[in-house]
């Protein structure tokens, strides 16, 4: 069971652990909760798979490819559509055990509004706005890399829901802090930092990209240094407004998670690590708790942003 000192609050949600399972890595929750030995007390929240207005079949294969210290994926937002998720999937989830966060995706502003409005009329605990998906050919990337468009999406979604809004920021942009500032002004309650980096793998025999979509999102330990810097940069804006960050990108140990907390995260996201160690969350929790006892931290919030810069 998670230790009391790991309990935290994120955008008004009370969580038993600071760990959030990332969108796309655990289906709609049921794919992970059926793993033998799993306890929902090990995780504070689960982000559901990215959901669009209508059913999407996703990209052509190959969709996943292992890389040195990472993984490329280009699933293409395969999902049954928001009505099927709200009507058929949400009723099967146990909202008493953990928090569930919807992940809203779209190709147009109107689609983001439609999907957000539909989730607003549901038991979902919070809504993550995916404006930064690097493995679809339209929509997310354009929105996420343009600060003005990012703010427009956040503002539009804010207008149709009172649920907590968490904006997922892209690392594939010029000034992530400026984008974050615009999203705060537009009404976001928190951030997920970062989404995957854009990458490619090539089959030298066929001389073609391995991924059917040609490019995909790179995740895993390879992107951790980039993610840490982006969290630190966004935190400089967020701390002025008391806006929390879910730090994510290559976390596969307690040490990794602690680094993100020190850089400015209030919670940490675990994704790719689940593919090779589905029960890694209790190990991360135990390591963080041990570090907190050793260094005299009474709560997770005491650790957030404690980074001491050189010079």
Report which secondary-structure segment, H or E, holds 153.
Answer: helix 147-158
**What is the rounded distance in angstroms from the CA atom of residue 279 to the CA atom of residue 7?**
19
**What is the rounded distance in angstroms from the CA atom of residue 223 to the CA atom of residue 145?**
18
CA 17, chain centre distance (Å): 15
Find where tokens 């810097």 sit. 229
**What are the phi and psi torsion angles at 245 (to 5°)?**
-125, 135
Question: Token digits for 140?
Answer: 């997310």
Q: Determine the 3-state secondary structure of 246 from DSSP.
A: strand
- Alpha carbon distances (Å) from 69 to 102, 218, 249, 272: 28, 10, 12, 10
The set of catalytic residues is 133
């Amino acid at each position: 069971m998670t230790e009391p000192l790991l309990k935290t609050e994120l955008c008004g949600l009370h969580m038993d652990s600071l760990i959030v399972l990332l969108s796309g890595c655990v289906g709609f929750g049921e794919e992970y909760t059926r793993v033998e030995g799993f306890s929902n007390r090990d995780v504070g929240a689960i982000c559901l798979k990215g959901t669009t207005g209508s059913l999407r079949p996703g990209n052509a294969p190959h969709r996943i490819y292992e890389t040195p210290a990472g993984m490329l994926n280009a699933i293409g937002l395969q999902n049954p559509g928001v009505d099927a998720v709200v009507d058929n999937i949400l009723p099967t989830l146990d909202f008493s055990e953990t928090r569930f966060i919807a992940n809203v995706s779209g190709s147009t502003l109107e689609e983001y509004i439609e999907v957000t409005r539909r989730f607003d009329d549901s038991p979902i605990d919070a809504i993550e706005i995916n404006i930064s998906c690097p493995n679809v050919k339209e929509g997310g990337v354009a929105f996420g890399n343009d600060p003005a468009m990012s703010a427009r999406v956040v503002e539009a979604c804010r207008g149709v829901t009172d649920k907590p809004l968490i904006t997922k920021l892209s690392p594939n942009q010029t000034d992530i802090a400026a984008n974050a500032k615009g999203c705060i002004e537009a009404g976001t309650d928190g951030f997920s930092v970062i989404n995957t980096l854009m990458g490619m793998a090539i089959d030298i025999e066929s001389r073609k990209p391995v991924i059917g979509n040609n490019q995909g999102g790179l995740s895993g330990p390879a992107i951790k240094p980039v993610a840490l810097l982006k969290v630190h940069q966004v935190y400089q804006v967020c701390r002025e407004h008391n806006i929390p960050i879910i730090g994510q990108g290559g976390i596969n140990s307690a040490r990794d998670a602690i680094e993100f907390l020190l850089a400015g995260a209030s919670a940490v996201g675990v994704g790719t690590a689940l593919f090779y160690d589905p029960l890694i969350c209790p190990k991360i929790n135990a390591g963080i708790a041990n570090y907190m006892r050793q260094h005299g931290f009474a709560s997770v919030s005491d650790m957030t942003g404690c980074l001491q810069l050189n010079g």
